[in-house]
């Protein structure tokens, strides 16, 4: 047993010598050429300058690659506050005094491995001046071990000056937690097979299912196993992801494992990692935009903010006209705030829900704005919405933001509820059958459908005449909303009604004869016009200006109330 104990003690001595000999590394401050009181900005600038100077792609001189690795290692230590603090205190970034390359045992450090009984051995080692001293002992049996092996680290008051137990040393060399090639322990957030906190490992399947065109902005790092150290990149991305949590997500693609994905995306890195933002701009589909600036969290964050979705349309609340801005028969929502630019949270929401709503935002000075009172808004920021039938609702006022992530979640619930309300309102509307374009809610008037839509059986026909595609789009949008209002009394397709109305569009460039039959000179210079036509009585009324939702609704109401004067047609209008 005594021999066995001596062998194990000898093993500990060998391990300690191995730790000492493997820990030789350069002073990171000297490597980067900076003072020990350098700021993070100064560290980043020094790293960026030297990494460009010694990058293997640019510097083919002998020793450049080793120098580049040394620079990366130095930056890895000094860019991490905890590692830098440990290095400054102990001469080692892991907080293990006694393992400093220049002073084994630390600067005046003392460590003591104790045991009882026979089988005692010790080891001493010192730095300059012999200040460092380490004392190891081992026992097999004895009173303190209670018949078993006892391992402990001594020190003042029984404290462990090394910061780890003997099992940590054993696992370092014989499995479990291990030191990687870059000097990181397996428990490190940058350990093998893992990434910094908050960075998602992205596979081809994950990219296609969770990222591509899903609406969320992603900050992505692309690298290969042969790429130079990704730790500075991961550190910067982790900080950006943390500060913009809820607004974007961060991922890492190993192009060595996902070669086809990186090749397909055009993001395959050569010897250095690449950073991209998966952005939406003002489109429905996402695209990758490469970042080429300095590797600092501040600069990367600014780049990400610039590339958040711009789906929401910035409008002037005083001039905003709902009917002329509706798209694809979707409900619309608008953020009202005092912000000069569209807030990041709203840009994020507009990206996530871009296929479900029309998004708008507007800057208001304060609550004294009369438009807010008209809308019924009692506090800012506020979100108001319009159902696809034009009905207006105040969705939320006095929005309080604890953090971006919770704000996006809460406002998403508000939008979900409003979407359900819109579907319920749409389902309660009577279904209408129009003869015309399959994609058009308001049919185009032709010779074949004239009798059905504006003939003898229709007391009143509201005709939107246009001469351009833009005019057609506006008229169709406005009439689509007005036709759903109760006052409109849309014509039934099953029963003729004495006071029903039919809404149609007319291409004035192809059917100019129809308008000339009403009034030969009145429509010549107009790009758009609204005509109230009574076929049975041979009368018509015209509105040439103010083709907005409110104005058209007012015009139709006036026609129904008898407040509009009708004129006789010149001759019976005919469609070609």
Q: What is the pLDDT of residues 376-406, one digit of tens each?
A: 999 999 999 999 888 889 999 999 878 899 9
Counting every residue, how long is the chain?
A: 576
Separation of alpha carbons 374 and 387, rounded Å: 17
The token pair at 46 is 């020094």
Q: Find out whether 175 and 181 touch, Cβ atoms under 8 Å.
A: no
Task: With CA atoms as reference, report the closest residue to 536 among 499, 511, 489, 563.
Answer: 499
Separation of alpha carbons 227 and 55, rounded Å: 11
Q: Specify which of 7-11, 181-185, 437-441, 501-505 reaches the highest per-range mean pLDDT.
A: 501-505
Q: Decide the pairing of beta strands 110-114 and 152-153.
A: antiparallel
Contacts of 8 (CB under 8 A, 6+ apart): 138
Separation of alpha carbons 219 and 290, rounded Å: 10
Each residue's pLDDT tens digit, 467-486: 898 889 889 988 888 887 65
3-class secondary-structure state, position 151: coil
Residue 264, H or E segment: helix 259-265
Q: Is 182's pLDDT higher than 50?
A: no
Mean pLDDT of 187-191: 33
Contacts of 253 (CB under 8 A, 6+ apart): 202, 207, 220, 221, 222, 223, 261, 262, 267
Starting at the earlier edge strand, list the strands of the sheet with 152-153.
133-136, 110-114, 152-153
Q: Is 155 exposed, middle or buried (0-12, 13-18, 19+ CB in 10 A)?
A: middle
Q: Which is the CATH superfamily of the domain at 450-568?
A: Glutaredoxin (3.40.30.10)
Q: Decide the pairing of beta strands 248-254 and 217-223.
A: parallel
pLDDT for 88 equals 84
CA 180 to chain centre: 33
The token pair at 8 is 């194990």
pLDDT for 493 equals 38
Place of tokens 């389902």: 427
Mean pLDDT of 414-424: 94
Separation of alpha carbons 230 and 238, rounded Å: 12
Choice among 144-148, 235-239, 279-283, 289-293 with the minimum mean pLDDT: 144-148
Q: Do domains 199-306 and 450-568 have the same CATH topology?
A: yes
Mean pLDDT of 93-116: 42
Q: Is 9's pLDDT higher than 80?
A: no
Each residue's pLDDT tens digit, 14-25: 444 444 444 446
Place of tokens 């490190």: 188
pLDDT for 437 equals 37
Separation of alpha carbons 318 and 191, rounded Å: 56
The token pair at 216 is 């969320």
Q: Which is the CATH superfamily of the domain at 199-306?
A: Glutaredoxin (3.40.30.10)
Choice among 164-178, 214-228, 375-389 with the minimum mean pLDDT: 164-178
Q: Is 135's pLDDT higher than 70?
A: no
CATH class of the 2-174 domain in this structure: mainly alpha
Where in the chain are the domains?
2-174, 199-306, 314-428, 450-568
Separation of alpha carbons 57 and 46, rounded Å: 19
Q: How far apart are the first and last CA of the chain?
A: 113
CATH fold, domain 314-428, is Glutaredoxin (3.40.30)
């Amino acid at each position: 047993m005594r021999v066995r104990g001596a062998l194990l003690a000898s093993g500990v001595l060998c391990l300690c010598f191995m730790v000492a000999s493997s820990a030789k590394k350069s002073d990171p401050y000297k490597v980067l050429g900076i003072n020990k009181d350098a700021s993070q900005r100064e560290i980043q600038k020094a790293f960026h300058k030297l990494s460009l100077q010694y990058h293997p792609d640019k510097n083919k001189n002998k020793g450049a690659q080793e120098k580049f690795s040394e620079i990366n290692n130095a930056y890895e230590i000094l860019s991490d506050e905890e590692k830098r603090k440990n290095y400054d205190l102990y001469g080692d970034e892991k907080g293990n005094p006694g393992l400093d390359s220049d002073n084994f045992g630390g600067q005046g450090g003392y460590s003591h491995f104790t045991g009882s009984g026979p089988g005692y051995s010790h080891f001493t080692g010192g730095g300059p001046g012999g200040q460092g001293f380490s004392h190891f002992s081992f026992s097999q049996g004895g009173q303190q071990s209670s018949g078993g092996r006892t391992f402990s680290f001594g020190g003042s008051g029984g404290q462990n000056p090394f910061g780890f137990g003997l099992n940590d040393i054993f696992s370092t060399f014989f499995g479990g937690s291990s030191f990687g090639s870059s000097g990181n322990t397996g428990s490190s957030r940058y350990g093998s097979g893992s990434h910094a906190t908050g960075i998602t490992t992205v596979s081809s399947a994950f990219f296609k299912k969770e990222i591509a065109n899903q609406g969320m902005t992603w900050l992505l790092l692309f690298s290969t196993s042969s790429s130079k150290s990704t730790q500075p990149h991961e550190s910067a991305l982790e900080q950006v992801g943390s500060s913009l949590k809820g607004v974007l997500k961060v991922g890492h693609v190993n192009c060595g494992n996902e070669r086809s994905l990186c090749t397909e995306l055009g993001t395959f890195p050569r010897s250095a990692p690449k950073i991209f933002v998966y952005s939406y701009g003002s489109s429905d589909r996402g695209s990758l935009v490469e970042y080429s600036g300095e590797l600092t969290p501040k600069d990367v964050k600014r780049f990400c903010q610039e590339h958040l979705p711009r789906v929401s349309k910035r409008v002037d609340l005083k001039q905003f006209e709902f009917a002329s801005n509706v798209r694809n028969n979707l409900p619309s929502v608008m953020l009202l705030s005092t912000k000069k630019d569209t807030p990041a949270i709203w840009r994020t929401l507009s990206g996530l829900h871009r296929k479900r709503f029309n998004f708008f935002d507007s800057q208001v000075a304060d609550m004294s704005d009369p438009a807010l009172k008209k809308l019924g808004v009692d506090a800012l920021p506020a979100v108001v919405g319009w159902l696809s039938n034009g009905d207006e609702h105040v969705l939320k006022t006095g929005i309080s933001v604890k953090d971006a992530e919770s704000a996006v979640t809460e406002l998403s619930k508000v939008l979900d509820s409003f979407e359900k309300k819109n579907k319920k309102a749409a389902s309660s509307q009577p279904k209408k059958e129009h003869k015309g374009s399959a994609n058009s809610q308001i049919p185009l008037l032709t010779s074949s459908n004239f009798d059905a839509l504006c003939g003898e059986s229709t007391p009143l026909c509201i005709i939107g005449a246009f001469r351009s595609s833009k005019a057609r789009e506006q008229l169709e949008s406005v009439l689509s909303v007005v036709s759903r209002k109760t006052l409109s009394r849309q014509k039934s397709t099953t029963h003729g009604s004495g006071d029903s109305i039919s809404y149609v569009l007319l291409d004035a460039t192809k059917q100019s004869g129809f308008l000339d039959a009403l009034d030969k000179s009145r429509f010549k210079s107009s790009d758009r016009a609204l005509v109230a036509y009574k076929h049975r009585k041979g009368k018509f009324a015209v509105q040439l200006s103010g083709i907005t939702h409110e104005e058209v609704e007012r015009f139709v109401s006036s026609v129904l109330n008898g407040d509009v004067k009708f004129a006789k047609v010149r001759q019976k209008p005919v469609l070609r």
